[in-house]
Amino acid sequence: MLTVALAKGGLLKESIRMFQSIGLDFSAFLEPGMRQLQIVEPTGRVRALKVRNGDVPVYVEYGQAHLGIVGYDVLKEKRPNVAHLVDLGFGGCRVSVAVKNDSRYQSALDFPAHMRVASTLVNCSREYFHDLDIPVELVYLSGAVELGPITGISEAIVDIVETGTTLRENGLRETDVLFNSTARLVGHPLSYRLNQDGMGDVVEQIRELVTAKV
């Protein structure tokens, strides 16, 4: 049976809506009180797993899911061995550098060597500052990164930004955008080449659906 890994949180509703458009219904995940982490859609052709966004590529890479939907930011940070199949276009956000409103730094290019920068995306951050030839001290935080400059654990952060409201409410402002991110359809490379359980047909349906919307 074809298995799809769906990310909890902000991507879930759009992912389910997309699959409904090609005749696969996982809307049971959205029912009040639903606690099941795996369901089989009504036709019995496809199973879905509901997992954390960061775990989607893990399930796909290890072959426990044929397909997955995950943010590009996760793929760029974790760099899993998965096939990048379709840019789905939803779940848009950006990964940005931010500092306190009263900071003297207007751009990352103004940062002094070895300044502390807090982030959950340490690999993306390291690559960005390396490309700028600015050595910084990266501080890993698993959440509430905005507290870094507020508490003084760092002078800047690298974080995911959607509307910018959270930054503004915490007295922070963006200085640089590392990259933009959207939801991506990824697949297990070997399963995709072998078209296991009709995987290629589902991918093609999704690709046609996304292309039609452009």
Please state the pTM of the whole predicted model.
0.92
pLDDT value for 116: 98
Per-residue pLDDT reduced to its tens digit, 40-69 = 999 899 999 999 999 999 999 999 999 999
Percentages of the chain per state (helix, strand, coil), in multiples of 5: 35, 30, 35
Cβ-based neighbours of 129, under 8 Å, separated by 6 or more: 108, 117, 135, 136
Which residues in the chain land under pLDDT 50?
none
Q: Which domains does the chain have, with CATH numbers?
A: 2-91+182-213 (3.40.190.10), 93-181 (3.40.190.10)
- Displacement of CA 155 from its chain's centroid (Å): 25
pLDDT value for 213: 78
- State the residue for tokens 């796909």: 60
pLDDT value for 189: 96
